[in-house]
DNA sequence: GTCGGGCATGTTATCGCTCCCGCGTGAGCT
DNA sequence: AGCTCACGCGGGAGCGATAACATGCCCGAC
């Protein structure tokens, strides 16, 4: 490695200034698109930059207190479809706006104090987006909010903290209304003739049933059906399989709503193992519409969630928090939609 | 609560110094664990820090030329299992070492010049890991290498640039030897009695067949079998489905090796549609062992890849590049392993 | 006794950039 | 002619940290 010879300092704004024959300030004005620069001077500076390959240091920029254009995403797991897709949405929007995106994974187990989270950001005022679909995220989010009440933090949450926050359209929170989607899915299953619907509950942001679970519950209650105990699960297909294996010994279980698609795949697997034909003797509905769900066997009926749109919206919120006069990006995302495929249908045979 | 009024400035090293009654340099020594500080002074400073909630600014640190402890991961798609898992491995190792991880997604289409990539990093000398499984990544990697020959960049690649690099154990590259794994999988399929094996080729890092494809090809050639044209595909299940639908009209196609699990799921779907029983009339083998592959129907025979280990190793390489005397982290990862499940087996019936 | 050397600490320079302020110039107004 | 003021531009002060150097101090060695 020939690294001895190269004490090469990267070209800085001063180098460009010296070469062009102007002050560093003028160079700064040019690269920031300020107006008070003569066109010819601007041209000259630009050419020098082009020739010498200069890139402004984001680090120095951030230190100097200019617009930081950096944000940190706190999330639990980059492999989970929901998180990954949201992250993708955030990154895409951020990159387009010239932001650098840092990520930091929250281990579900670790108790996160405000100090811990602060250390992640390297600076308490670093803009952040917290993907808070479950408790570790929620803890981190409230820790950040407690740290300073005006810190630029946007939460991607399961639901707003309060009715009031939802009504006031709290600009620091975005969420997908999956409660009504779950209600819709549950209603659909009941409409197919199922006596009741069982629910596999992934970790929620609260100790209680999550929004999806609530939508399921309220639909059953409204229809006067028996509400089975929800089954607590991890996010994995394996968890769905294990839960399914227990659940499906009971022939009365004919419809299962799963908190996400991975769980649903696990249940389908358990159904195969138990010899329960899907959808003839068992209906399974998932959540998320992960890319492979359309190719499961049977293809999975699921609720499509616009995570990327959600991520883009989260960034848009953060951006307008940071730079109020910034061009407003689209801050909307699609409502969840039930995608009907093969895994749910009317009962055709008894078990 | 130090500041209830929003005086907006974060506590800095100077504040701590002033409060404790020492110089800022001493505080710096304490937070960096330097030795030349009296125990009592250290204690004092530490307590002040604790009480006032101070976090060193990573930004200022980076500017000051100290160990930057920041790295950028360049990748194509955070949703793809291989990339996501590798990213997870990198992030985990980096976080443990106190590094901040930034990510930047490379759009496959865009032509990436060195300047483009440089702009992503905010500074040409920013440490980076490029996940270069396909061409966009490879382009970015070579652009970075061209920029400066000693920049701290590690590539997670499909294979080493040259035999020489592989022999010399180039510390700036990590890769999984999936060529022999593909060969093994192909051999396995031939051993089951298949006349030949077809291959669905995902985008490779070169214009040619990727390593997986080469392993497949050389095995067929060595066995004196006909080598069918590989079918070029995207990474998606949909691509696998479309390719499968065309391929499976030919009853002579009895074994398909797929460049990743998503493709394999698509092929399984196409098989179902065409009424081809798996594995009795068709064997399908995937690559990656994504979490849901074990729960596909039929469960997917696939090659397990230790992407997280690979990611950890990539970080370890980068770390030792940056701080030669840093504690050496484990830089090994598991070799790929064929996981035999239901989707591959001997021909039992003719179509 | 004096000198050299480690130790604990303070002082100053520097990193690359942005902000604030000030200076000259020429156009436009009175 | 005098005054203002926008324009184009430069000078210097930070931002929060680290690095290099400087300073006392105490202690053992010659």
User: pLDDT value at position A163?
Assistant: 74
Mean pLDDT is lowest, of A4-13, A52-61, B219-228, B314-323, for A4-13
Question: Is A123 close to B299, i.e. CB distance below 8 A?
Answer: no
Distances, alpha carbon B77 to alpha carbons A233, A289, B53, B191, in Å: 28, 18, 37, 36
d(Cα B316, Cα A51) in Å, to the nearest integer?
A: 35
Asked which of A75-89, A227-241, B164-178 is least confident by mean pLDDT, the reply is B164-178
Q: Is the pLDDT of residue A134 over 90?
A: no
Q: Nearest CA to the C1' of C6 belongs to which residue? A: B36
Residue B10: its pLDDT value, please? 81
Q: How far is Cα B142 from Cα A291, in angstroms, rounded to an integer?
A: 31
Query: What is residue A327's predicted lDDT score, i.e. its pLDDT?
Result: 65
pLDDT at A189: 97
- Taking the Cβ of residue A49 and every Cβ of chain B, the question of whether any pair is shorter than 8 Å is answered with no
Region A266-270: mean pLDDT is 98
| Nearest residue by alpha-carbon distance to C1' of C16 | A60
Q: In the block, which residue shows the tokens 């670093």? A: A126
Of A84, A103, A115, nearest to B101 by CB-CB distance is: A103
Closest nucleotide C1' to the C-alpha of B13: D16
H or E stretch covering A285 = strand A283-288
Predicted local confidence at residue B53, as pLDDT: 87
B23 touches strand D (CB under 7 A): no
The kind and range of the H/E element at A128 are strand A128-132
Instruction: Write down the pLDDT at residue A232.
Output: 95
Residue ranges of domains in chain A: 13-56, 70-176+307-322, 178-305
Residue nearest to nucleotide D7 (CA to C1'): A36
CB burial of B299-310 (b: ≥16 within 10 Å; e: otherwise) equals: bbbbbbbbbbbb
Q: What Cα–Cα distance (Å) separates residue B212 from each residue in A137, B138, B158? A: 39, 17, 9
CA dihedral sign, ordered B180, B166, B80, B110: negative
Question: How many whole angstroms separate alpha carbon A160 and alpha carbon A176?
Answer: 10
> What residues 211-240 of chain A have any CB closer than 8 A to a CB of chain B?
236-238, 240
The whole-angstrom separation of Cα B290 and Cα A123 is 36
Rounded Cα gap, residues B298 and B296, in angstroms? 5
Q: Greater confidence, B306 or A119?
A: B306
Phi-psi category of residue A276: left, alpha or beta, with phi > 0 → left and psi -120 to 50 → alpha: beta
Q: What is the pLDDT of residue A4?
A: 34
> Most A CBs within 10 Å: which of B5, B50, B59, B312, as the mutation test of the A interface?
B59
- Arithmetic mean of pLDDT, A145-151: 77
- Please give the average per-residue pLDDT across A148-154, as a whole number: 82
Evaluate if the CB of B25 falls below 7 Å from strand C.
Answer: yes
In this complex, do B265 and A296 lie within 8 Å of one another by their Cβ atoms?
yes
| Closest-CA residue of chain B to A99 | B120
Distance from CA of B53 to the nearest CA of A (A): 7
- Say which CATH superfamily domain B178-305 falls into: Response regulator (3.40.50.2300)
Question: Token digits for A270?
Answer: 């358990």
Q: D9 C1' – A273 CA distance, angstroms?
A: 78
Output the pLDDT for position A20.
94
The residues near B215 (Cβ < 8 Å, ≥ 6 apart) are: B178, B179, B180, B181, B182, B183, B184, B185, B186
pLDDT, tens digit (0-9, with 9 covering 90-100), for A34-50: 888 999 999 999 999 99
CA distance B76 to chain A (A): 11
Q: What's the confidence (pLDDT) of residue B3?
A: 38
Same fold: A70-176+307-322 with A178-305:
yes
Nearest CA in chain B to A56: B122
CA distance A88 to B104: 10
Confidence of residue A145 (pLDDT cuts 50, 70, 90): confident
Per-residue model confidence as pLDDT tens for chain B (351 residues): 343 334 457 899 999 999 999 999 999 999 999 888 999 999 999 999 999 989 998 889 988 876 778 899 999 989 999 999 999 999 999 998 888 899 999 987 766 677 778 778 877 778 999 999 988 898 899 888 887 777 889 999 988 877 777 777 788 999 999 899 999 999 999 999 999 999 999 988 776 888 999 999 999 999 999 999 999 999 999 999 999 999 999 999 999 999 999 999 999 999 999 999 999 999 999 999 999 999 999 999 999 999 999 999 999 999 988 887 666 667 788 899 999 999 999 988 665
* DSSP tally for chain A: helices H, then strands E: 13, 11
In a 3-state reduction of DSSP, which class is residue A157? strand
User: Tokens 């009715």 belong to which residue?
Assistant: A163
A-B CB pairs within 8 A amount to 159
* Separation of first and last alpha carbons in chain A: 69
CA distance A189 to A183: 10
pLDDT for B112 = 66
Instruction: Identify which of B167, B168, B144 has the alpha carbon closest to the alpha carbon of residue B155.
Output: B144
Residues of chain B with C-beta less than 8 angstroms from the C-beta of A55: 115, 118-119, 121-124
In chain A, the percentage of residues whose pLDDT exceeds 90 is 64
Statement: residue A215 has pLDDT above 50 = yes
Nearest nucleotide (C1') to the CA of residue A36? D8
CA-to-CA dists, residue B156 to A137, A147, B48, B132, B285, angstroms:
30, 38, 43, 6, 24
Q: Which residues of B are less than 8 Å from A289 in CB distance?
A: none
Chain B residues within 8 A of A60 when measuring between CB atoms:
63
Query: Cβ B91–A78 below 8 Å, yes or no?
Result: yes
Residues from chain B that touch A72, judged by Cβ atoms under 8 A, are 100
Nearest to A59 among B118, B123, B236 (CB): B123
Answer whether A57 sits within 8 Å of B63, measured CB to CB: yes
CB of residue A25 closer than 7 A to nucleic acid strand D?
A: yes
The angle subtended at Cα B90 by Cα B86 and Cα B95, nearest 5°, is 150
Q: Which fold has domain A70-176+307-322?
A: Rossmann fold (3.40.50)
- Nearest residue of A to residue B58, measured between CA atoms: A122
pLDDT at site A147: 75
Q: Tell me which architecture the domain covering B13-56 has in CATH.
A: Orthogonal Bundle (1.10)
Does any CB of chain A come closer than 8 Å to the CB of residue B148? yes
Say yes or no: Cβ of A23 under 7 A from any atom of strand C: no
Q: pLDDT of A273-314, one tens digit each?
A: 999 999 999 999 999 999 999 999 999 999 999 999 999 999
Residue in B62, B104, B266 nearest the CB of A295: B266
Q: Is the pLDDT of residue A65 over 80?
A: no
| Predicted local confidence at residue A130, as pLDDT | 95
pLDDT of residue B86: 97
> DSSP per residue over A286-327, as a string?
EEE--GGGGGSSSPPEEEE--HHHHHHHHHHHHHHHH-TTSP
pLDDT at B300: 98
| C1' of C26 to CA of B155 (Å) | 58
Maximum average pLDDT range among A130-144, A156-170, A178-192, B144-158: A178-192
Contact yes or no for B55 and A3 at CB 8 A: no
The reply to whether A100 touches chain B by the CB within 8 Å rule is: yes
Of B184, B186, B215, B203, the residue nearest B283 (C-alpha)? B186
| Bridge partners, residue A105, by sequence | A75
């Amino acid at each position: 490695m020939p690294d001895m010879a190269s004490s090469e300092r990267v070209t800085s704004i001063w180098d460009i200034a010296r070469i062009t024959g102007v002050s560093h300030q003028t160079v700064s004005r040019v690269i920031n698109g300020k107006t008070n620069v003569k066109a010819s001077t601007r041209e000259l500076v630009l050419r020098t930059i082009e020739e010498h390959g200069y890139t402004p240091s984001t680090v120095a920029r951030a230190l100097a207190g200019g617009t930081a254009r950096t944000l940190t995403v706190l999330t639990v797991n980059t492999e989970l479809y929901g998180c990954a897709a949201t992250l993708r949405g955030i990154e895409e929007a951020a990159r387009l706006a010239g932001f650098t995106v840092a990520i930091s994974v929250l281990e579900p187990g670790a108790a996160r104090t405000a100090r811990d989270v602060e250390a992640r950001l390297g600076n308490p005022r670093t803009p952040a987006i917290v993907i808070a679909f479950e408790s570790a995220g929620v803890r981190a989010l409230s820790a950040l909010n407690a740290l300073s009440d005006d810190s630029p933090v946007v939460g991607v949450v399961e639901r707003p903290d309060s009715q009031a926050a939802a009504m006031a359209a709290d600009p620091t929170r975005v969420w997908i209304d999956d409660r009504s989607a779950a209600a819709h899915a549950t209603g659909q299953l009941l409409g197919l003739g199922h006596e009741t619907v069982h629910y596999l509950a992934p970790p929620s942001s609260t100790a209680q049933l999550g929004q999806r679970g609530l939508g399921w519950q309220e639909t059953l209650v409204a229809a006067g059906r028996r509400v089975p105990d929800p089954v607590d699960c991890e996010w994995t297909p394996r968890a769905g399989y294990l839960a399914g294996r227990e659940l499906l010994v009971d022939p009365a279980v004919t419809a299962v709503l799963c908190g996400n698609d991975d769980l649903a795949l696990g249940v389908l697997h358990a159904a195969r193992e138990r010899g329960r034909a899907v959808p003839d003797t068992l209906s399974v509905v998932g959540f998320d519409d992960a890319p492979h769900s359309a190719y499961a066997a049977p293809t999975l009926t699921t609720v499509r969630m616009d995570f990327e749109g959600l991520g883009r919206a989260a960034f848009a919120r953060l951006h307008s928090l940071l730079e109020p006069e910034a061009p407003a990006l689209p801050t909307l995302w699609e409502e969840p939609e039930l995608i009907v495929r093969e895994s749910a249908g009317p009962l055709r045979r008894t078990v």
